[in-house]
Chains A and B, each alone.
Chain A
Amino acid sequence: MTVVYSVLFMAILGIGAGVFLAFASAKFAVKKDPRITLIEASLPGVNCGACGFPGCSAFAKAIAEGKAPLDGCIPGKRSGVPEKLKLIMDTDVDKLTALFEEAEEDAEKTLEKLIAVSGKEVKAAPPKPKRPTQEEIDSYKGKLKENSRAAVVFAILPNINCGICGSPGCAAFAIKVANKEENADKCVPGKRQNVPEKVAKIMALSQSEIQKIIEDTSGEPAEIKKKFES
């Protein structure tokens, strides 16, 4: 009997709590400004930080509050993002809410509807850059030990592993740059941190100078980075 009572009691309690919470979350639902959701859907979504904000969600919020420039998203600049953002911000909020609900809260569909309704020509959504997996990041980081020039380049990169450069992670990109297979300009978040200039300096150094840097700093990336900060 104890077992029956225990099971019944827990079942009733569990179901009761679940129903109560479901009811509460429906009754106290907060309507998120659809603009933020739509803006977020227009962005590449890599959280690279090039816009100066901590992540795409923060940038979307700032745009909605009018605190960020429409062309602040550097990876999105050439793929029609500023135009999309302008379209969203120019449209009446109520109209956006209506469209959003019509499309059953699907951001992508709402955007398509919005573009169709406005009759404007907007470029296709930028292909989302591929973020590297943790295994790729770790394996390339391991390879840095074999290439000291790449290790120095790696130290001055933003190390966010956003994937916009097309390489699987900052370590892989550093190796390619050190082997002159890749241009440092491809690092979009790095443009704010003067990465192309720093890379030019590193490429101009001789192998023995590179060795000296590694010895002086015991290979610590933070220390290497300090050496290139003027």
Chain B
Amino acid sequence: MATRLVFIFLSAILINNFVLSRFLGICPFLGVSKKTDTAVGMSIAVTFVMIMASIITWLLNIALDALGIPFLRTIVFILIIATLVQFVEIFLKKASPSLYDALGIFLPLITTNCAILGLALLNVQQNYTLLETIVNAAGAGLGFALALILFSTIRERMELSEVPEPFKGTAIALITAGLLSMAFMGFQGLVKL
């Protein structure tokens, strides 16, 4: 039991990193990673929403299956995520106005972060138990944080290098992400179940 949880956890962070292997959460990955402090703030917000959303959607999924209306899954899940993000926005505005200002437009954009909806749907698809879901969500959040923070530190360094004109901006960011993804591929086969 414990080994399975460890596998799920490590898989989400390293082996099947949500950003670099599964391609979930690319928009904030490219958009928020210019400065390390915004990257950290964003990661914390996303991890929190991931864990809360996973738990609530997992519970609601049982109700959906029981009532025989599984086709409502996408709509229900995205509504829960939107509500949670709205709540986080309200809470942050009061609790930490500086972080709220720093995140700016990216906070409501967590709703359209494919990583959160993707995570919720994956949990259900792979028939995880509640505990496995929570572990997966924590791992996904940490994996996202790892990728985002690593990438932001590299990008901060790149600001000071001489990038050829056509590559400036998104192009060089994508190529760098590709190299990072290649590095993470080295984790394949790390844990054997």
Say whether B187 faces chain A, with CB atoms less than 8 Å apart.
no
Chain B, Cβ-Cβ closest to A20: B83
Which B94-118 residues have a C-beta within 8 angstroms of A? Answer: 94-95, 97
The answer on a CB contact under 8 Å between B72 and A21 is no
The answer on a CB contact under 8 Å between B90 and A25 is yes
Given A9-B63, A10-B75, A20-B83, check contact A2 B90 (CB 8 Å): no
The answer on a CB contact under 8 Å between A17 and B90 is no
Say whether B68 faces chain A, with CB atoms less than 8 Å apart.
yes
**Could you say which residues of chain B place their CB within 8 Å of the CB of A2?**
68-69
Say whether A30 faces chain B, with CB atoms less than 8 Å apart.
yes
What count of chain A residues pass the 8 Å CB interface test? 16
Chain A, Cβ-Cβ closest to B64: A9
Which B40-71 residues have a C-beta within 8 angstroms of A? Answer: 60, 63-64, 67-69
**Could you say which residues of chain A place their CB within 8 Å of the CB of B86?**
21
Q: Smallest distance from the beta carbon of A177 to chain B beta carbons, Å?
A: 39
Q: Smallest distance from the beta carbon of A25 to chain B beta carbons, Å?
A: 5
The answer on a CB contact under 8 Å between A14 and B87 is no
Say whether A117 faces chain B, with CB atoms less than 8 Å apart.
no
CA distance A25 to B90 in the complex (A): 6
CA distance A2 to B72 in the complex (A): 11
Select which of A6, A9, A14, A28 is within 8 A of B90 by beta carbon.
A28
Chain A, Cβ-Cβ closest to B97: A30
The answer on a CB contact under 8 Å between B67 and A9 is yes
Interface of B: prevailing SS: helix
Say whether B179 faces chain A, with CB atoms less than 8 Å apart.
no
Say whether B76 faces chain A, with CB atoms less than 8 Å apart.
yes
Say whether A116 faces chain B, with CB atoms less than 8 Å apart.
no
Fill in one digit per residue for A24-38: 1 if any B CB lies within 8 Å of its CB, else 0. Answer: 110011100000000
Say whether A13 faces chain B, with CB atoms less than 8 Å apart.
yes
The answer on a CB contact under 8 Å between B72 and A10 is yes
Q: Smallest distance from the beta carbon of A163 to chain B beta carbons, Å?
A: 28
Chain B, Cβ-Cβ closest to A18: B83
The answer on a CB contact under 8 Å between B87 and A6 is no
Say whether B167 faces chain A, with CB atoms less than 8 Å apart.
no
The answer on a CB contact under 8 Å between B93 and A14 is no
Which A1-60 residues have a C-beta within 8 angstroms of B? Answer: 1-2, 5-6, 9-10, 13-14, 17, 20-21, 24-25, 28-30
**Could you say which residues of chain B place their CB within 8 Å of the CB of A29?**
94
Chain B, Cβ-Cβ closest to A6: B69
**Could you say which residues of chain A place their CB within 8 Å of the CB of B63?**
9
Say whether B23 faces chain A, with CB atoms less than 8 Å apart.
no
Contacts A9-B64, A17-B80 aside, 12 further interface pairs with beta carbons under 8 A come to A2-B69, A6-B69, A9-B63, A10-B72, A13-B60, A14-B79, A17-B83, A21-B86, A21-B90, A25-B90, A28-B95, A30-B97
A-B interface, 6 closest residue pairs, ranked by CB to CB distance from nearest: A28-B94, A17-B83, A5-B67, A28-B90, A24-B90, A6-B69
Q: Can you name 7 A-B residue pairings with CB atoms under 8 Å?
A: A5-B69, A10-B75, A14-B79, A20-B83, A21-B87, A24-B91, A29-B94
